[in-house]
Amino acid sequence: MTAETPEGVILLDLHSDQFLGLNQTAATMWKLVCAEMTIEEVLHHLERTYAAEPGRLRDDLTQFVATMQERRLLEPGDQFPALPAASTSLLHPPCGRKIFHLLPDCRLCAVLEAHLVLRWVDRTLQRSGFHALAASLAALPAQRTARREEQAVQQLIDAVALAAAWQPFRALCLHQCLTLCYLLRRRTIQADLVVGAYTHPFSAHVWLECADQIIYWQAGLGSAVGIERVQAMQVLFQSARPRIQKESKEP
């Protein structure tokens, strides 16, 4: 998952739950690699873009590709064969600054993560549909329950609501609840997706529950709408509620 910034590109590494910041040089490399160019084609483009020695550019590109392969963000193949692991001090490009760094875990990162997941949810809904996405989220392991009042849960709720306001599409209750469900389940917190409706007049809504407690319902309704409106709806769909998985202890 990626997001462009004025400084370059930020990637969410789902394998390590870390954000990776790429400056403009690395962002250019990443875009060219994703365009399925060979390493020679990428190098030729970089030579035309940056005033640097070809040998220096080749070293930077090789270490960049090796780092992405090491983090499993780039699979070795015909385009880029498997390369030796990159050094930890890697990547000092023509601009003289590191082009690859880890971003700190902070509230801004939570909003960025929500933004990336919202975009992923929108694409997945269009490609695979609601039921397939809901089933895949329900299959993620859950080890504990949580209440809406918990700081970690409230921070994710706020992050999703803020990120939704900046999407190029209308990210209302369905997109926001699927996104929040994903974020909670990735943190092994139980989350249950619920779809309900009124019949006269017809009105449908999606909300999120945890251990039979409604934890998010305002998306698309507004903060002034009380939880009683959701509680009065007839449930049409409810994702599976897997049992909380107890951590097994080694004998």
| All domains in the chain, ordered by first residue | 2-102 (1.10.10), 107-238 (no CATH)
122-127 CB contacts, 8 Å cutoff, 24+ apart:
122/167, 122/169, 122/171, 122/175, 125/174, 125/175, 125/178
If one counts every other C-beta atom within 10 angstroms of the C-beta of residue 78, the result is 7
**Residue 153: strand pairing partners:** none
Length in residues, the chain: 251
- Please write the tens of the pLDDT for every residue from 95-147: 334 444 444 455 667 888 898 899 999 999 999 999 899 888 888 888 999 88
Cβ-contact 191, 185 below 8 angstroms: yes
15-29, 98-112, 142-156: least confident range: 98-112
Q: Is the pTM of this model over 0.85?
A: no
For residue 223, with 0-12 CB atoms within 10 Å meaning exposed, 13-18 middle and 19 or more buried, which class applies? exposed
In whole angstroms, give the CA distance from residue 177 to residue 181.
6
Distance CA(163)–CA(157), nearest Å, equals 10
Question: Tokens 């890697």 belong to which residue?
Answer: 90
Amino acid symbol at 110: A
pLDDT in tens, 46-82: 888 887 777 888 888 888 888 888 878 877 776 666 6
The answer to which of 33-37, 107-111, 177-181 has the lowest mean pLDDT is 107-111
pLDDT of residue 240: 60
Amino acid at 11: L
- Residue 207: the pLDDT is 94
